[in-house]
Structure formats: C-alpha cells, structure tokens
Amino acid sequence: MATARVDLDGNAIKPMAICMIGAGGFIGSHLCEKLMEETPHRVLAVDVYNDKIKHLLEPTSQWGDRIQFHRLNIKNDSRLEGLIRMADLTINLAAICTPADYNTRPLDTIYSNFIDALPVVKYCSENNKRLIHFSTCEIYGKTIGAFLPKDSPLRQDPNYFLLKEDESPCIFGPIEKQRWSYACAKQLIERLIYAEGAENGLEFTIVRPFNWIGPRMDFIPGIDGPSEGVPRVLACFSNNLLRREPLKLVDGGQSQRTFVYIKDAIEAVLLMIENPARANGHIFNVGNPNNEVTVRQLAEMMTQVYAKVSGESSLDTPTVDVSSKEFYGEGYDDSDKRIPDMTIINKQLGWNPKTSLFDLLESTLTYQHRTYAEAVKKATSKPVAS
Ligand code: NAD
Ligand code: UDP
C-alpha cells in the first residue's frame, strides 16, 4: 500500500473515507480493488449484491479493515444519509444501465437513474459532502451527423463527430422510443447536480463513461445471470463465443462505439478522487477515441481474439443479422456514433487511455474463457441416453 501519496499539484493526499454506492457492480468492483491495492483510503461499499467484491471482503482478505460492505437498497433505506455523513466523498454508481431494460422496463429505468439518485444528491448537498456522480455518454444521444445526407463531406471530418461536454447538444428520439428513458433520466440528474453546485455550492464531479469494458462486466446468461437476460454487447458476444453460436448483429451492426479498457478508465476516476481542486465543478468524458469500431467489426475482432485465447484456431462462429425489434422489442433506438472529445480531462487531470482494442479484448476474453468455458460446456452438454 502506498502511504505518501501526492496529488497532481504536489500536495500530500490525506487518507479519506469514501461512500461508494453501487460498489458491487462492474465499475465499482474495479474501483474498490484499485483503492485497496494502491491507496490508503477506506471504502463504505453500498450495494444490494457483493459477489464481484467478495474477494476483498473475506475475513482473511488483507483489505478487511479498510472496506466495509453495507447491503442496502438506496430506494428505501434510512441508513443511507448516515453513511454519506460518515464519508468525506460519495461516489454514486448505482443504476439500471443495460439497454435491454430501457425500453422494456422504462419506469424502473427512470426511477433508478433519477428518483433514486435524488436523495444521494440532497444528502451530499445538505451535509457539505463532495459527490462524484456516474452519468453516461448516452446523454449525447444521437450525433448531429446522424441527420446528415449520406454523401455529405462532413461525414469524413473526424472533428465534426467529437462529443464535447460543454458544447455538444443532447439529441434524443421521440417519447415512443423508450430507449431514451435512461439518457433522459441521466440528463435530468446531471442538470440537478449542476444546479445544486450553482445555487447551493455542492462540490461535484460528473463522469460520462464511454463503453468501459473488461472482466466482470455484466453476466453470462444461464451461467451467472438469468438465461433470458440480455447483457451489454461484450457479454452478449462473449456468451455467443463460449457457446459457439452466431454473434447477433442488431440492425446489421452498423452503429459505432469507442471502447475503453476498465483499468485505464479507473485511473481517471482515481485522479478525480485525489484531485478535488481540479475535478470539482467539471463534467468529464472518459473514453478512448482511438478505439472506434462498428459493432460488426467488434464481433469480427472478438471472434479472432477468442480463437487465439481459447487455442481453437479453427473457431468458426459466424454473425447473423437481427432486427432491433426482434432483439430488444418495441421502442428500441440506437446511438449511431460516439467519439469522446478528451480536451477537458486532458487539461484538468492529464489523463489519456493507453490500451488498444485488441489488447483489451485479449485480456478480457482470456478472463471470460478461464471463468466460464467449463461451466458453459457443462451446461450445454447433453445428458447421455441410457
Ligand atoms: P453495474 O450494473 O455493473 O453496477 C451497478 C451497481 O449498482 C450494481 O451492482 C447494482 O446492484 C447496484 N445498484 C443498482 N440499484 C441499486 C439500489 N437501488 N441500491 C443499491 N445498489 C444498487 O453497472 P456499471 O457498468 O458498473 O455502471 C456503473 C455506473 O456507470 C452506472 O451509473 C452507469 O449508468 C454508468 N455507466 C457505465 C458505463 C459502462 O461502460 N460500464 C457506461 C455508461 C454509464
Ligand atoms: N448489440 C448487438 N448485438 C448484441 C448486443 C448489442 O449488435 O448481442 C449492439 C447494440 O444494438 C448497440 C451496441 O451493440 O448498437 C452496443 O450495445 P451495448 O448493449 O453494449 O450498449 P450501448 O453502447 O448501446 O449503451
């Protein structure tokens, strides 16, 4: 453990207590690990689940005295304010944040991303506590480029598509397209936090993750999650590869995404935690503009990488096109393209992502193979007829 840590301006960093809500999820589990391994900070870990951080919580774990798990649902638990008051900083990661839910469970999505986040903002503001709130790149919605004619020369201009925290508009589809329930709820909570900062002096930082991926993301349907569940694209394609099924490309897989390795992104969050003077009052895109692919290209690259890490050079899992209505149901819509502009995070925190898409897929799919291949094999092997 590092003890004499200094911030970007050379000042000593005092150990702090962090109330981390949603600590048991994908991002939370990596952030808890980072905080335990590299800092002296304490974590009050709040979630309804803790499977992904069990290894840190075990009585024999060397971190046991610095991380404490509180199983509570922030919807309805009076202990929340006490935990926020006990901490120097609150980080709110809790959310329903899987696209398959946005159009099929829009009410839960809106409650989770707006209503349930309200008390967290209120308690931080009333108790003069700093807040780092997790929003989303989805806040930008569709790009202005989505409305350009197909042959417009602007389509070739990469700067035209950069999404800027302080300039780009938020473009959502009509209300019937319930996909946008999540983005809209996240936008309103961002506006509320910003207003708390402006009117009541709340010290806040807002994070907009652009497709952070890596080990422990979501679940493999039928193995450690519901068999009918639809996780985010990394876990969907991993599941297809593990089962040697075709990878499903929604509406032809033409949408574009930039993927960033979770371990790179966590470095950015640690800089925000330890540099309040540089992070407070800011909204930060956190992504990797160099890792842009179409979903179809992602499927092809994951197939190639999975062949390498599973040692099956002849792996032949084709892709198949499915309509979004068939895959997600009525009311789905999509973001066409998302490239983060990195100017603000670069200027304030000097952060840049390092890991290429190929490398991050290699380490992530190595993890998926080691963790799930045997279980999937068992689950899919037919019983021998007697
Ligand atoms: P995740 O689903 O893995 O983690 C969310 C955690 O919050 C879960 O462990 C869940 O149990 C917990 N939670 C939800 N509601 C709760 C409640 N009422 N009470 C207590 N705990 C509750 O998701 P993640 O990928 O780790 O995302 C974390 C945050 O980052 C979310 O706010 C999400 O919107 C945002 N985000 C993530 C990405 C990404 O690339 N992973 C992209 C955009 C935005
Ligand atoms: N997608 C796909 N096949 C799948 C799962 C997702 O083609 O099995 C597409 C989805 O339609 C979207 C992209 O992959 O265009 C990324 O989806 P994800 O669920 O990861 O979240 P998003 O980036 O849309 O928030």
Domain boundaries, given as residue ranges, for the chain: 95-374
* pLDDT for the residue 207: 99
Q: How far apart are CA 260 and CA 27, in angstroms?
A: 12
Span from the CA of 248 to the centroid of ligand 2 (angstroms): 10
Write out pLDDT tens, residues 154-180. 988 888 999 999 999 999 999 999 999
Q: Across-strand partners of 19? A: 44, 90
Is 95-374 assigned to CATH 3.30.1010.10? no
* Nearest residue by C-alpha to atom 16 in ligand 2: 233
261: closest CA among 224, 211, 302?
A: 211
Helices (H), the chain: 26-38, 54-57, 79-86, 99-102, 106-110, 118-126, 180-200, 233-242, 262-274, 276-279, 295-310, 324-328, 343-349, 357-380
Which three-class secondary structure string do you get for 69-116?
EEECCCCCCCHHHHHHHHCCEEEECCCCCCHHHHCCCHHHHHHHHHHC
Mean pLDDT by groups of 10 residues along the chain of 386 residues: 82 98 98 97 98 94 91 96 98 98 97 98 98 98 88 89 96 96 98 98 98 98 96 98 97 97 98 98 98 98 96 87 97 96 98 98 98 96 70
Task: Please indicate whether residue 73, judged by its CB atom, sits closer than 6 Å to ligand 1.
Answer: yes
Task: Please indicate whether residue 22, judged by its CB atom, sits closer than 6 Å to ligand 1.
Answer: yes
123 is catalytic: no
The residues, any chain, with a CB within 8 Å of residue 134's CB and separated by 6 or more, are 22, 27, 91, 92, 93, 95, 207, 209
212: closest CA among 24, 22, 43, 364?
A: 364
Task: Please indicate whether residue 250, judged by its CB atom, sits closer than 6 Å to ligand 2.
Answer: yes
CB 27 within 8 A of CB 35: no
**Dihedral angle, C-alpha 62, 375, 295, 177, nearest 10 °:** -90
CB 137 within 8 A of CB 130: no
Pocket test for ligand 1, best of 30, 33, 76, 97 (most atoms within 8 A of CB): 97
Span from the CA of 36 to the centroid of ligand 1 (angstroms): 20
The three-point CA angle 116-141-100 to 5° equals 60
* pLDDT for the residue 338: 95
* pLDDT for the residue 385: 65
* pLDDT for the residue 309: 97
